[in-house]
């Protein structure tokens, strides 16, 4: 049986852990897909290209016949692969909810599966995603100079029951020139948006969400424009931590990293550091003097962040002094600040 369902119903069934099959080509899947979906391509990248070209140049009939030639010899493989998922019910989608998902759903339904096809396909999902992320919801932003352990404190807040989305965790990048070190490969911006939406949609829309103060780009990932604009307008709590504590945190964070990776990160910001500071960093790296490297890098990052804070509306910027970078005690202080802020806002 094949049933077409809405995005809301599709995601609800996916949340019940029904298998999700992305029947688009491998290249489309890699660019971005619905989280938890498995690649289940009807056509290879080359086959899709051929069918698409035939559709444009010779019409739908020849494209359809070519598609049958490609898919027909793989029908038993599709059925066996679907059986390996050990689920009677399956969710499927393609780009527009058209021929590819319809054809695959028909085949698998003949093999005994109940197939639910996403109406409008991945394109409709992406449109729904942007509409959801563009909506202005209560947000609180945690800021602070580099090395303050903002991410650790946010994760501690999350464990204590606050709504938190770790943007850097989703982006697999800590946000600075050093941010890619010890991180997995970054997702595409498209897939990052899918991951963000997946967390955003399940949060209580009437309770604030804590986010870290990020620029619009986190490494190679770009935040959605309206989402970023809404974040920029939200109240910003800036934690201030002594320089020595921040330096120690950075050194601990990058202990064990190969010097060549740190050197490469220094060279990425060499024009902004200036030749004297770059040479001092390189000499310190040669001597394994990571404290000096961190201190020099923070001279640049602190200056840049002070400027960034100056661009915020001063009435919505608040400061909280912390003695160190300890995540648990810092989260407790931030929670206390939030309770006082919330009471004043009533």
Going by C-alpha positions, the residue among 259, 304, 299 that lies closest to residue 276 is 299
Phi, psi of 108 (to 5 degrees): -70, -30
Rounded Cα distance, 90 and 109, in Å: 9
Instruction: Report the pLDDT value the prediction gives residue 247, as an integer from 0 to 100.
Output: 96
Rounded Cα distance, 54 and 75, in Å: 22
Phi, psi of 240 (to 5 degrees): -115, 125
pLDDT band at 42 (very low <50, low <70, confident <90, very high): very high
The angle subtended at Cα 266 by Cα 260 and Cα 270, nearest 5°, is 135
Rounded Cα distance, 66 and 258, in Å: 52
Please tell us whether the domain made up of 136-345 is placed in CATH 3.40.50.2000. no
pLDDT band at 72 (very low <50, low <70, confident <90, very high): confident
Instruction: Report the pLDDT value the prediction gives residue 256, as an integer from 0 to 100.
Output: 80
Average pLDDT in the 166-195 region? 93
Residue showing tokens 């080359």: 46
Question: Which tens digits make up the pLDDT trace of 195-231?
Answer: 999 999 999 999 999 999 999 999 999 999 999 999 9
Instruction: Report the pLDDT value the prediction gives residue 176, as an integer from 0 to 100.
Output: 84
Q: Which two tokens stand for residue 266?
A: 């220094």
Instruction: Report the pLDDT value the prediction gives residue 5, as an integer from 0 to 100.
Output: 97
Question: Which tens digits make up the pLDDT trace of 271-301?
Answer: 888 999 999 999 999 999 999 999 999 999 9
Contacts of 256 (CB under 8 A, 6+ apart): none
Query: b/e string for 89-104 if b means 16 or more Cβ within 10 A?
Result: ebbbbbbebebbbbbb
Rounded Cα distance, 57 and 344, in Å: 66
Lowest average pLDDT, out of 66-75, 172-181, 250-259, goes to 66-75
Rounded Cα distance, 218 and 224, in Å: 12
Element (H, E) at 212: strand 209-212
Residue tagged active-site, from 94, 115, 172, 281: 94
Residue showing tokens 């804070």: 309
Average pLDDT value for the chain: 93
Burial of 61 (0-12, 13-18, 19+ CB in 10 A): exposed
Active site residue 172: no
- Whole-angstrom CA distances from 293 to 78, 150, 209, 240, 255 are 55, 21, 34, 21, 12
Helix (H, G, I), strand (E, B) or coil at 238: strand
Which of the 8 DSSP states describes residue 43?
A: S
Positive or negative torsion for Cα 205, 209, 211, 215:
positive
Residue 179 has pLDDT above 90, yes or no: no
- Identify whether the C-beta of residue 234 lies closer than 8 Å to the C-beta of residue 316: yes
Q: Structural domain boundaries of the chain?
A: 2-130, 136-345
Going by C-alpha positions, the residue among 76, 22, 83 that lies closest to residue 48 is 22
The superfamily CATH assigns to domain 2-130 is Rhodanese-like domain (3.40.250.10)
Going by C-alpha positions, the residue among 107, 98, 91 that lies closest to residue 48 is 98
pLDDT band at 193 (very low <50, low <70, confident <90, very high): very high
- Identify whether the C-beta of residue 211 lies closer than 8 Å to the C-beta of residue 223: no
Instruction: Report the pLDDT value the prediction gives residue 345, as an integer from 0 to 100.
Output: 65
Question: Which tens digits make up the pLDDT trace of 317-342?
Answer: 999 999 999 999 999 999 999 999 87
């Amino acid at each position: 049986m094949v049933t077409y369902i809405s995005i809301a119903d599709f995601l609800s069934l996916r949340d019940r852990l029904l298998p999700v099959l992305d029947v688009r080509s491998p290249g489309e899947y890699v660019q971005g897909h619905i989280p938890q979906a498995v690649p289940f391509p009807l056509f290879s990248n080359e086959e899709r290209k051929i069918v698409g070209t035939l559709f444009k140049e010779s019409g739908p009939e020849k494209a359809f016949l070519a598609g049958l030639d490609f898919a027909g010899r793989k029908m038993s493989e599709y059925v066996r692969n679907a059986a390996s998922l050990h689920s009677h019910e399956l969710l499927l989608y393609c780009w527009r909810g058209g021929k590819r998902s319809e054809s695959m759903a028909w085949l698998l339904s003949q093999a005994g599966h109940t197939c639910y096809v996403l109406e409008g396909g991945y394109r409709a999902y992406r449109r729904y995603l942007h509409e959801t992320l563009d909506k202005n919801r209560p947000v609180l932003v945690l800021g602070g100079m580099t090395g303050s352990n903002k991410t650790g404190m946010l994760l501690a807040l999350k464990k204590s029951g606050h709504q938190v989305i770790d943007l850097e965790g989703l982006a697999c990048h800590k946000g600075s020139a050093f941010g890619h070190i010890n991180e997995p490969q970054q997702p595409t911006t498209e897939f990052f948006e899918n991951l963000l939406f997946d967390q955003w949609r399940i949060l209580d829309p009437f309770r604030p969400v804590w986010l870290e103060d990020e620029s619009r780009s986190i490494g190679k990932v770009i935040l959605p424009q309206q989402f970023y604009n809404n974040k920029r307008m939200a109240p910003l709590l800036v934690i201030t931590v002594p320089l020595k504590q921040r330096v120690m945190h950075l050194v601990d964070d990058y202990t064990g990293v190969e010097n060549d990776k740190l050197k490469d990160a220094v060279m990425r910001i060499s024009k902004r550091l200036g030749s004297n500071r770059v040479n001092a960093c390189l000499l310190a790296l040669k001597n394994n003097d990571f404290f000096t490297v961190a201190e020099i890098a923070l001279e640049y990052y602190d200056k840049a962040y002070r400027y960034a804070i100056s661009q915020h509306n001063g009435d919505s910027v608040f400061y909280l002094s912390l003695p160190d970078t300890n995540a648990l005690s810092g989260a407790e202080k931030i929670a206390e600040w939030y309770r006082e802020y919330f009471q004043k806002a009533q």
